[in-house]
Amino acid sequence: MKNSFLSISLLVSMTFGSTASASIQEAWKIYQSGNKSRYPQMVSELIQEKMYFSAIPFIKEYLVTTNKVNDVAVDKVLDQLITEVGVKQFEVLPTNVLEKSNAPTIRYILARKAFRQGKYESALKYLDKPIEDWNPVKPFALLLEGSIYSVSKKEDQATRVFKECVDVAEDHIKKEKDKDRLRQLKISRDYCIVGIPRSQFAMQKFEAAYSSYLDLEKSSYIWPEILFEEAWNSFYLKDYNRTLGKLVTYKAPVFNYIFNPETEVLKALSYMELCLWEDSKKTVENFYSKYENDNVAYKKYIDSMGKDYKLYYSLVKDQADGKIKNNAILNTALASISRDPAYLELYSSFNAGRDEIEKMKSINNEKLRSVLNENLRESLNLQRNLIGSYIRGQLQLFAAQIVKAFEDMSYIKLEVLSKRKTELYGDVSMSADGRARGDIAQLKRTDKQYFWTFNGEFWADELGDYVFSLKSECK
């Protein structure tokens, strides 16, 4: 019977003792042998020393040169390594190379790649083979599976998977000790929680979605971005006062990093639906005043950097160090990215990789240290470029959102002018003099919500549960 290479690692440990040098010496012996089929064993030894990023090039070379991974132990090493360094380091590998392994993390990566390419059936096939609940990738795989069903308009299946995802993620959260991984698990769980109302919204079950959104705790890392979705859901319920209440929450000082120009579009639309033409017109004018000039400079600036990922990486780092750019849009965008869960995961992995530089000092073998240093440099450069690429993509996305928002605002501006003209010719009074701007009679609430008089405690308790009490002036 073929012995697993993990048992060899145990033998080496017995021979050299339980010190760090035992794994390092064994790794060096394997490297000197030049036998690439034994690279997974070498990676296992480096994992023992927590030299994860230094091990990446070895396992990549193994995957490229081997015909097929037929060893469960190799798959286990891949799972261990990818859990530590993140999936992005391996997403850059071609699909045909990744398909050589049946490791759950590799199948998850393949599904992510297929999902981004719009190949939803292929993505689901990669996730067909069950992943044990205890496997670290399980909660993330369920989130991806639910998302695939959702964009494929299979909302019932999506809801079922999202509910399973919440349960599995909760089990992992209870056992997790690592701070960074705990944050990732909680974010994954919370995205599964909001996946349920998103599916209900897609099925136009707005009342159900309204209730389900309330299941997300306000302490959640992703709660601020979900306010916008809740606002749209209320808009479709024709509860425009609650839509405006959700949107006004973004004016809280703690949310000054939120970048979403569409909030102003939805605000203008809500006023328009209430036939509050002056309010809608003023919102449009304020939007142009806020974004028009800075947007030209913003787009020109990010276009000038091309694909220099090192520059993009430095942008967010400089912003975190207090180096503010002379562009309000860029500053807000960078502040938003610096709090983005995907960015935080990439940057956290990068910092963990840099910690390995110190470990190199304990390696006396100069040749081995040189090889591992080169590996580490290669992996860290790729990680930095992955961060830069992500930042570039987000900045480009923000630029596109502003363009779309300008298009929407132009439509709203014309629509308001048209409606005002219609009312004028219809001899309807346009005067707002004496108009009651609020009336408690306009408020609607469920048994999950409370009424607060807000005597000085604005932005304090119940953040995000505000609701306007404007009366519609539609005739």
Higher per-residue confidence, 434 vs 197: 197
* Cα separation, 472 vs 272, whole angstroms: 10
For the cut 80, the answer to whether the pLDDT of residue 249 exceeds it is yes
- How would residue 25 be classed by pLDDT, with cut points 50, 70 and 90? confident
Cβ neighbours, 10 Å, residue 248: 17
**CA-to-CA separations, 430 to 9, 212, 343, 423, 427, in angstroms, rounded:** 83, 40, 49, 8, 9
* Cα separation, 41 vs 307, whole angstroms: 37
Question: Are the beta carbons of 221 and 183 closer than 8 angstroms?
Answer: yes
Q: Is residue 295 part of a domain?
A: yes
Q: Is residue 215 part of a domain?
A: no
Q: Is residue 179 part of a domain?
A: no
CA 170 to chain centroid: 19
**CA-to-CA separations, 323 to 303, 319, 320, 335, 337, in angstroms, rounded:** 20, 5, 7, 11, 15
Task: Give 122-169 pLDDT, tens digit per residue.
Answer: 999 999 999 999 999 999 999 999 999 999 999 999 999 999 999 999
**Per-residue model confidence (pLDDT) at position 447:** 47
Query: Into how many domains does the chain fold?
Result: 2
Q: Which of 91, 111, 132 is the last residue in one of the domains? A: 91
**Per-residue model confidence (pLDDT) at position 253:** 85
- How would residue 108 be classed by pLDDT, with cut points 50, 70 and 90? very high
Q: What are the CB-based long-range contacts (under 8 Å, 24+) for 414-418?
A: 415/272, 416/272, 416/277, 416/280, 416/281, 416/284
Tokens of 219: 């302490």
> Is the pTM above the cut of 0.75?
yes
Least confident among 51-65, 289-303, 315-329, 342-356: 315-329
**Per-residue model confidence (pLDDT) at position 324:** 81
- How would residue 424 be classed by pLDDT, with cut points 50, 70 and 90? low
Q: Is residue 301 part of a domain?
A: yes
**Per-residue model confidence (pLDDT) at position 457:** 44
Question: Are the beta carbons of 182 and 221 closer than 8 angstroms?
Answer: no
**Per-residue model confidence (pLDDT) at position 4:** 42
Q: Is residue 369 part of a domain?
A: yes
**Per-residue model confidence (pLDDT) at position 464:** 57
Angle at 125 between CA 141 and CA 52, to 5 degrees: 45
Task: Give 349-406 pLDDT, tens digit per residue.
Answer: 999 999 999 888 888 888 999 999 999 999 999 999 999 999 999 999 999 999 999 9
For the cut 80, the answer to whether the pLDDT of residue 268 exceeds it is yes
Question: Are the beta carbons of 345 and 86 closer than 8 angstroms?
Answer: yes
**Per-residue model confidence (pLDDT) at position 8:** 37
> Can you give 285-334 as a three-state secondary structure string?
HHHHHHHHHHHHHHHHHHHHCCCCHHHHHHHHHHHHCCCCCCCHHHHHHH
The answer for residues whose C-beta is within 8 angstroms of residue 402's C-beta and 6 or more apart is: 261, 291, 295, 298, 329
Q: How many residues does the chain have?
A: 475
Q: What mean pLDDT value characterizes the chain?
A: 88
For the cut 50, the answer to whether the pLDDT of residue 2 exceeds it is no
Question: Are the beta carbons of 30 and 97 closer than 8 angstroms?
Answer: no
Q: Which of 32, 58, 91 is the last residue in one of the domains? A: 91
**Per-residue model confidence (pLDDT) at position 330:** 94
**Per-residue model confidence (pLDDT) at position 320:** 82
- How would residue 431 be classed by pLDDT, with cut points 50, 70 and 90? very low
**Per-residue model confidence (pLDDT) at position 220:** 94
* Cα separation, 259 vs 339, whole angstroms: 11
- How would residue 19 be classed by pLDDT, with cut points 50, 70 and 90? very low
**Per-residue model confidence (pLDDT) at position 308:** 95
- How would residue 116 be classed by pLDDT, with cut points 50, 70 and 90? very high
Alpha helices (H) in 339-450, listed in sequence order? 341-354, 356-360, 366-425
Q: Is residue 183 part of a domain?
A: no
- How would residue 200 be classed by pLDDT, with cut points 50, 70 and 90? very high
Q: Is residue 401 part of a domain?
A: yes
Q: Which of 91, 106, 139 is the last residue in one of the domains? A: 91
Tokens of 269: 């639309």
Q: What percent of the chain is modeled with pLDDT above 90? A: 75
Least confident among 170-174, 231-235, 412-416: 412-416
Of 21, 22, 41, nearest in space to 31 by CA: 41
Question: Are the beta carbons of 261 and 402 closer than 8 angstroms?
Answer: yes
Q: Is residue 336 part of a domain?
A: yes
Question: Are the beta carbons of 225 and 464 closer than 8 angstroms?
Answer: no
**Per-residue model confidence (pLDDT) at position 384:** 97
Terminal Cα distance for the chain, rounded: 84
**Ramachandran region of residue 11, left (φ > 0), alpha (ψ -120 to 50) or beta?**
alpha
Q: φ and ψ at 322, to 5 degrees?
A: 90, 10
**CA-to-CA separations, 62 to 33, 68, 101, 272, 443, in angstroms, rounded:** 14, 10, 11, 61, 64
On the CB side of 249, how many CA atoms lie within 13 Å of its CA?
Answer: 23
Q: What is the mean pLDDT of residues 12-28?
A: 60
What's the domain range around 252? 243-433
For the cut 70, the answer to whether the pLDDT of residue 449 exceeds it is no
